[in-house]
Chains A and B, each alone.
Chain A
Amino acid sequence: MTATEPAGFLPPELIRLAVTSLIVMGFVFFNSILLGYLERKLAGWFQRRPGPMEVGPQGLLQLIVDGVKLVGKQIIIPREAAKPLFLLAPLLAFMPVGIAFIVVPFSNRLQVRDLDVGLLFIVAIMSFNVMAILIAGWGSNNKYSLFGAIRAVAQNIAYEIPMLLSLLAVVLMANTLSMRGLVLAQGRLWNMIVQPVAFLIYFIAGLAETHRAPFDLPEAESELTAGFHTEFSGMAFSFFFLAEYTHMFFVASIAVVVFLGGWSGPPLPWIDYTGIVWFMLKVYALLFIMIWIRWTYPRVRFDQLLNFCWQYLIPFALVNLLVTAVVVKL
């Protein structure tokens, strides 16, 4: 479809927009509910507990009930808080969630739009999250929120560098920034095998980007109550919750696209569409590892967090990039 074609009653572009945004929003909620359930269930199993058991068979309906409860709750705005900022923050956290789905290639043909700068686009949109956290922390008029927000900013600035450097090494090889192009450029040998160091660095930095344990300093319970979302309740809190879990999904899906061959896998019928099965399997395998890591390691100290990034991840990412550049040139 080109834009110059005469539009009918409803331009197809509009239908496409409506349908995809409906699917994306549905998926955002479904993914958060599924991940929330998996997180609690796996947390239980890692500690030899059963996890949620009471609501529905094996506690399956627990997260849905939790969601209904959160929607029904009042949003309390602290008296001295900056009200516009306080209300803007959860929306700003939720906004990139819908937009970044545009470039995720679920399968060869299941992609909303294949942008030429897809990878750059998704990384840029994802980093909006830290802005939302800063506004949330600043607007709450609460010292814990502000501390959490400051930590989040320092952490994200530090970890964005190795993340981008490790992705850049792959981009140098594939010679494209389009998400679909990156998958197609891999062929039989996944980039995880060609670029193991970059994959490891990306994954660690990705964990830090999503503020998950052991890098969950912005919301360290024992020190900061709940960090930047201390003052948020009801739907405002659930926006942060949805954003966090969708953020995890993006980090995992970028890893799958760039390092794990995207939708490629053993052939299935209609592989152009059913590639989504392999894509989702890989994404959820990575998400399982993220949950596994969370329930294994204690939280790092803030100086350890930054030292690890500046002393190990960035030098290694730079050396990796240099070696890749030289090899590609040869």
Chain B
Amino acid sequence: MREYFSLLYTGAKSLLVGLGVTFRALLQPVVTVQYPRQRIDITPNFRGHTELVRDPETGSHRCIVCMMCEKDCPSGCITVKGETREGVKGKVLTAYQLDFTKCSLCGACVEVCPTSALCYSREYALAGFTAGEFRYDLLARLEETG
């Protein structure tokens, strides 16, 4: 008999506590972001496709065409092309092609780069009609933004 009433008491109490919890939630502001109309800053950890870093000193990229990223890429989606030029030490980058349709965003290219010439892009709203739109020429992109 005692159990009967104590169950009633504890049950009713816990139900009232529950109602209190939801009522407090009702009074608090809405946290949903109305996405296309409203945007928030993306986290610094966000990994987009790779991008060539602009060196603030030279105003250009830092790539030395060592081909490490191309060799290290597990998906084989990077093509680096360079040439030797008169009066320039080492190779000069002529094209850096990233096939983003195959990229698995593992970040091995960024890790392996000896001159830290690669970083992650901040772009996330990616959509297109053809696969070609996702074959990026990173060198051209760098020049465009410059």
Given contacts A296-B22, A297-B18, contact A49 B8 (CB under 8 A): no
Stretch in A39-47, A75-83, A114-122, A246-254 touching the partner:
A39-47
In the assembled complex, A329 has its CB within 8 A of some CB on chain B: no
- A46 to B25: give the CA distance in the assembly, Å: 5
- Do A49 and B26 touch across chains, with their CB atoms under 8 A apart? no
Q: Which residue of chain B has the shortest Cβ distance to A48 in the bound complex?
A: B31
- A44 to B28: give the CA distance in the assembly, Å: 12
Q: Which residue of chain B has the shortest Cβ distance to A49 in the bound complex?
A: B32
- A295 to B19: give the CA distance in the assembly, Å: 9
Interface residues of A in 253-299 (CB under 8 A from B): 292-293, 295-297
Chain A residues, Cβ within 8 Å of B34: 50, 53
Q: Report the minimum CB–CB distance from B84 to chain A (whole Å).
A: 59
Q: Report the minimum CB–CB distance from B5 to chain A (whole Å).
A: 10
Interface residues of B in 61-98 (CB under 8 A from A): none
In the assembled complex, A302 has its CB within 8 A of some CB on chain B: no
Interface residues of A in 6-49 (CB under 8 A from B): 42, 44-49
Interface residues of B in 16-66 (CB under 8 A from A): 18-19, 21-23, 25-26, 28-32, 34
In the assembled complex, B15 has its CB within 8 A of some CB on chain A: yes
Interface residues of A in 295-323 (CB under 8 A from B): 295-297, 311-312
Chain B residues, Cβ within 8 Å of A293: 19
In-complex Cβ contact of A295 among B4, B15, B22, B28 (8 A): B22
- Do A296 and B30 touch across chains, with their CB atoms under 8 A apart? no
In-complex Cβ contact of A296 among B4, B21, B31, B32 (8 A): B21
Given contacts A297-B15, A312-B8, contact A50 B22 (CB under 8 A): no
Q: How large is the interface on A (under 10, 10 to 19, 20 to 34, 35 or more residues)?
A: 10 to 19
Q: Which residue of chain A has the shortest Cβ distance to B27 in the bound complex?
A: A45
- A297 to B18: give the CA distance in the assembly, Å: 7
- Do B29 and A48 touch across chains, with their CB atoms under 8 A apart? yes
Q: Report the minimum CB–CB distance from B34 to chain A (whole Å).
A: 7
Chain B residues, Cβ within 8 Å of A45: 25-26, 30
- A211 to B72: give the CA distance in the assembly, Å: 61
- Between A42, A46, A295, the greatest number of chain B beta carbons within 10 A of the residue's beta carbon is seen for A46
Given contacts A297-B15, A312-B8, contact A47 B25 (CB under 8 A): yes
Chain B residues, Cβ within 8 Å of A53: 34
Q: Which residue of chain A has the shortest Cβ distance to B18 in the bound complex?
A: A296
Q: Report the minimum CB–CB distance from B40 to chain A (whole Å).
A: 15
- A320 to B30: give the CA distance in the assembly, Å: 43
In-complex Cβ contact of B30 among A50, A295, A311, A312 (8 A): A50
Chain A residues, Cβ within 8 Å of B31: 48-49
Q: Which residue of chain B has the shortest Cβ distance to A296 in the bound complex?
A: B22
- A296 to B30: give the CA distance in the assembly, Å: 17
Q: Report the minimum CB–CB distance from B119 to chain A (whole Å).
A: 35
In-complex Cβ contact of B19 among A47, A296, A312 (8 A): A296
- Do B25 and A48 touch across chains, with their CB atoms under 8 A apart? yes
- Do A42 and B26 touch across chains, with their CB atoms under 8 A apart? yes
A49-B31, A50-B34 known; 15 other A-B pairs, CB under 8 Å?
A42-B26, A45-B25, A45-B26, A46-B26, A48-B25, A48-B29, A48-B31, A49-B32, A50-B30, A53-B34, A295-B22, A296-B19, A296-B21, A297-B15, A297-B18
The 5 closest A-B pairs by CB, nearest first: A296-B22, A50-B30, A48-B31, A46-B22, A296-B18
Please give the residue numbers on chain A whose beta carbons come within 8 Å of chain B beta carbons, in ascending order: 42, 44-50, 53, 292-293, 295-297, 311-312
Q: Please, could you name 20 A-B residue pairs with CB atoms under 8 Å apart, sorted by A?
A: A42-B26, A45-B25, A45-B26, A46-B22, A47-B25, A48-B29, A48-B32, A49-B30, A49-B31, A50-B30, A50-B32, A292-B19, A292-B26, A293-B19, A296-B18, A296-B19, A296-B22, A297-B15, A311-B4, A312-B8
